[in-house]
Amino acid sequence: MTPAIRPALSVVAPCYDEQQALPEFLRRVGAVLDGIGGASEIVLVDDGSRDGTWKIMTEAAARDPRIVAVRLMRNHGHQLALTAGLTVCRGERILIIDADLQDPPELLPDMMALIDQGADVVYGQRRQRDGESLFKRASAAAFYKLIGRLTDVAIPTDTGDFRLMTRRVLDLLLLMPERHRFIRGMVAWIGGKQVPLLYDRKARVAGESKYPLAKMVRFAADAITAFSVVPLMASMTIGWVMAAVGFAFFLYSIIGWLMGMNLPGWTSLMAAVGLLGGMQFLMLGIIGAYLGRLYDQSKGRPLFMIREIVGGPK
């Protein structure tokens, strides 16, 4: 694709069962783009929705030449659906946004201004989160604290993937072939000038969160394994401590035996066996978590599969 026919702006939104939110999303994003002017496109990715999402997308694409509707073969998950949209989009600047309007598209002009002033990435940082449970907020805070300790990459807290970036940054992002994607971390890893824009995160306009607890946990594990090998090294640290304690016990029991002491050892034995057994399984699990991802990656399967694309340039 020659740069000459790139639109100035692409808006990319992954959508999974978003039939309720989509019409309002398109209305609000459309209004923002009208206000900004210039050539733009809205790339909607249907991530294997089971509801009427695809129908709404294709109807919208028939009405509005700015809309490009991408349908994946099946549900790939948020991060891979987003990757599909980012691969298809052609804009000079790219806005990543959720389809549920938790992130206000009306911030786009402010984000554009910050890029005009030289930023490479402007990321939305949440000042407040409406309509999200205490548990979701507390677990998010704990997660960002943990990953902050485990990695050298400065991953900003309280962010989602809601951000505007330049084509240069996107092209670098698309060079990364990793399957277990934590896109906000990958963008942070790229560096350049990344600036926050504070905003209040709203509740969803319609529908439910597509991130139940199990998916959240998996996402957090993907993020941590992708950005840190500290857990993998933990067995080393714990192993040294355990070895030292074990050696002390060894000396104690040998000396005791030489001195003819009969050690009443059941409790300490059970405690040690239990503790060590648990620790070993935990460490094996951590190794498995990395190994499994390494195995997935080594298969080299495509990150996403597109079924069809409707709308956009012919």
Residue 78: name its binding partner from Mg ion, ligand UDP, none (Cβ under 5 to 8 Å by kind): ligand UDP
Residue 120: name its binding partner from ligand UDP, Mg ion, none (Cβ under 5 to 8 Å by kind): none
Q: How far is the CB of 6 from ligand UDP (least distance, A)?
A: 24
Q: How far is the CB of 140 from ligand UDP (least distance, A)?
A: 9
CA distance 298 to 278: 30
| Rounded (5°) CA angle 19-211-109 | 65
What is the Cα 27 distance to its own chain's centre? 26
Chain residues binding Mg ion by CB under 5 A are: 98, 100, 102
Closer residue to ligand UDP, CB minimum distance, 13 or 310? 13
Residue 121: name its binding partner from ligand UDP, Mg ion, none (Cβ under 5 to 8 Å by kind): none
Chain residues binding ligand UDP by CB under 6 A are: 14-16, 18, 47, 75, 77-78, 81, 98-100, 102, 209-211
Q: How far is the CB of 14 from ligand UDP (least distance, A)?
A: 3
Residue 77: name its binding partner from ligand UDP, Mg ion, none (Cβ under 5 to 8 Å by kind): ligand UDP
For every residue of 133-162, DSSP letters joined together read -HHHHHHHHHHHHHHHHH-SS---SSEEEE
Helix 167-174 vs helix 78-88: crossing angle, to nearest 10: 120
Token output for 33: 């783009």
Closer residue to ligand UDP, CB minimum distance, 26 or 99? 99
Closer residue to ligand UDP, CB minimum distance, 79 or 119? 79
Cα distances (Å, whole numbers) of residue 63 to 17, 31, 60, 85, 281: 21, 15, 5, 20, 57
Residue 103: name its binding partner from Mg ion, ligand UDP, none (Cβ under 5 to 8 Å by kind): none
Q: Torsion angle, CA of 182/204/104/222, rounded to 10 degrees?
A: 0
CA distance 147 to 302: 27
Closer residue to ligand UDP, CB minimum distance, 119 or 126? 126
CA distance 180 to 294: 10
Helices (H), 76-177: 78-88, 108-116, 134-150, 167-174
Closer residue to ligand UDP, CB minimum distance, 6 or 137? 137
CA distance 78 to 76: 7
Asked if 94 and 163 touch (Cβ cutoff 8 Å), the reply is no
Residue 47: name its binding partner from Mg ion, ligand UDP, none (Cβ under 5 to 8 Å by kind): ligand UDP
Q: How far is the CB of 77 from ligand UDP (least distance, A)?
A: 5
Residue 40: name its binding partner from ligand UDP, Mg ion, none (Cβ under 5 to 8 Å by kind): none
> In the chain, count of helices (H) and strands (E)?
10, 8
Closer residue to ligand UDP, CB minimum distance, 77 or 124? 77
Residue 16: name its binding partner from Mg ion, ligand UDP, none (Cβ under 5 to 8 Å by kind): ligand UDP
Closer residue to ligand UDP, CB minimum distance, 133 or 237? 133
User: Within 13 Å, how many C-alpha atoms sit on residue 242's CB side?
Assistant: 16
Q: How far is the CB of 173 from Mg ion (least distance, A)?
A: 21
Closer residue to Mg ion, CB minimum distance, 10 or 102? 102
Q: How far is the CB of 160 from Mg ion (least distance, A)?
A: 8
